[in-house]
Structure 1
Amino acid sequence: MAGVQIRKYHDDDAEAVKDLFTMGMSEHIPSSFVHLLKQPPTQLLLMMVVCALLTSSKSFLLPILAVTLLLAGMRQFVAYMFTSYIDMSLKKDLNNIQEAYLTSKDSFFWVAESEGRVVGSVACLPAENTPGYLELKRMSISRSHRRMGIAKALCQTVVDFTRERGRLGVVLYTSIVQTDAQKLYEHMGYTKIREFVMPDVATKITNFTLLEYRLDLQQDKKMD
């Protein structure tokens, strides 16, 4: 992590942070599409389409064309899910980071800077569903600066901030397709608490599972 500085977010970092987040989320579209294809209902639908068209048309061309169009539609649907989430996140807090994260003593937003360029970000604020905990949010690392220890350093920054505030620990949410993130959090001592699917139609259709992780800091105090 030589030459990388973790510092407080400044207003002139806004566009870089939003670009990092947008690109980072968009990278998960291909793996999420593959996840959708692995789901039994998806495989059953594709098989039924092929069988029905083969039986009715007696031709391989029509089933192949239909499946191709169906797969393209599924790919667009997954892309739409992520685009909608990105838009929602921008409106919710990333379009006004100062107000969302830098007006309370229990919330904060950091960036990782290398050679004058923002290459990473992370934030935290009080967890809505876990009293006494802070929630780690908006973790993004530029593809060109991954596997350099930046993500680990940003995670540790949140842990240190949480400990300084006297909070019980840190919670975070990630998705089933973000396997690298899962490995990082587990390596840093986080425990997976639960897996769940959001109640909206899109995530139910795709069985897009979210994972909740938690790091308890009270155990550290008892050990000390």
Structure 2
Amino acid sequence: MDNIQIRKYRDEDAESVKELFILGMNEHLPSSFMHVLKQPLTQMVLMVSFCALIVSSKSFMLPILAVTLLLAASRQMLVYMFNGYINASLKSDLNNVSETYLKQKDSCYWVAESEGRVVGTVACLPAEDLPECLELKRMSVRQSHRGMGIAKALCRTVADFTRERGYAAIVLYTSMVATDAQKLYEHMGYMKIREFPVPEFFARIINFNLIEYRLDLHRVNLRDSK
């Protein structure tokens, strides 16, 4: 962390911030695809399709080709779902970070910089349905700079900001496949509140859920989370 500086976002960081967000999202595609393959519905569809075709066609090639196409279609649906979320995020706040975070009350956006390069990001703003909370958003650390304590430092930055603004807690939402993020938040004292489905139709079919975490600031001291 000696050569890492955490500072507020500047407009010249825009492209680096968007690149980091997109890279971080796409990292979850392989684990999300594995989640799809583990679903009983997926396995049933693949098995029924394979057996039906092998009985009707008396050939191994057609069932294998059909299963391959079904797998490719499933992965493409995941890509479509992820791209939809990425585009919605760019439109909602990442295309205009200054307007969304820096010019609004009790909101902020920080970057972690190493040798002039943005290697991490985090943001917060008032939670929509929880007036006593700020919501932690856009946590991401470049893969080449993980394991250096950057994510923990970014978490502490949000906690300090939240205390200074007089809020009691921080909430955040992460996906069920982001296991490394879950471990980080739990290490930092966040408690799992609930798990709930993503509203998109395909996400519901594959049981792709989001997890809500909450950190009550009176309960923990993040300075002790080394």
Under a length normalisation based on structure 1, what TM-score does the superposition of the two structures give? 0.96
User: What's the offset of the Cα at 1:219?
Assistant: 3.3
User: What's the offset of the Cα at 1:129?
Assistant: 2.1
Partner of 1:89: 89
User: What's the offset of the Cα at 1:207?
Assistant: 1.1
Structure 2 counterpart SS, 1:219: coil
Distance change (3 Å), C-alpha of 1:115 and 1:62:
same
* Distance across 1 between alignment mates of 2:131 and 2:45: 43
Counterpart check, 1:193 vs 2:184: no
* Distance across 2 between alignment mates of 1:162 and 1:215: 11
Counterpart check, 1:51 vs 2:51: yes
User: What's the offset of the Cα at 1:220?
Assistant: 5.3
Partner of 1:116: 116
Counterpart check, 1:5 vs 2:18: no
Q: Which amino acid aligns with 1:205?
A: I
Q: Is contact 2:135–2:170 with CA below 8 Å preserved after alignment?
A: yes
Q: Which amino acid aligns with 1:178?
A: A
Structure 1 counterpart SS, 2:219: helix
Percent of residue pairs bearing the same amino acid type? 68
* Distance across 1 between alignment mates of 2:199 and 2:164: 35
Q: Post-superposition, which runs of at least 4 consecutive aligned residues in structure 1 deviate over 3 A?
A: 218-221
Q: Which amino acid aligns with 2:218?
A: Q
Partner of 2:80: 80
* Distance across 2 between alignment mates of 1:184 and 1:142: 15
Q: Which amino acid aligns with 1:206?
A: I
* Distance across 1 between alignment mates of 2:202 and 2:88: 15
* Distance across 2 between alignment mates of 1:13 and 1:103: 16
Under a length normalisation based on structure 2, what TM-score does the superposition of the two structures give? 0.95
* Distance across 1 between alignment mates of 2:48 and 2:56: 12
Q: C-alpha offsets along residues 148-203 of structure 1, whole Å, 9 cap, x if unaligned?
A: 10001001100110011110110000011000000000000000000010222121
Partner of 1:171: 171
Q: Unaligned 5+ residue runs, structure 2?
A: 222-226
Partner of 1:100: 100
Q: Is contact 2:124–2:137 with CA below 8 Å preserved after alignment?
A: yes
* Distance across 1 between alignment mates of 2:129 and 2:71: 37
Q: Is contact 2:189–2:220 with CA below 8 Å preserved after alignment?
A: no
User: What's the offset of the Cα at 1:58?
Assistant: 1.3
Q: Which amino acid aligns with 2:151?
A: A
Partner of 1:217: 217
- The number of aligned residues is 221
Q: C-alpha offsets along residues 7-28 of structure 1, whole Å, 9 cap, x if unaligned?
A: 0000000000000000100111
* Distance across 1 between alignment mates of 2:202 and 2:103: 34
User: What's the offset of the Cα at 1:104?
Assistant: 2.3
CA RMSD of aligned residues (A): 1.1
Q: Which amino acid aligns with 2:186?
A: E
User: What's the offset of the Cα at 1:205?
Assistant: 1.7
* Distance across 2 between alignment mates of 1:215 and 1:196: 18
Partner of 1:41: 41
* Distance across 1 between alignment mates of 2:148 and 2:90: 27
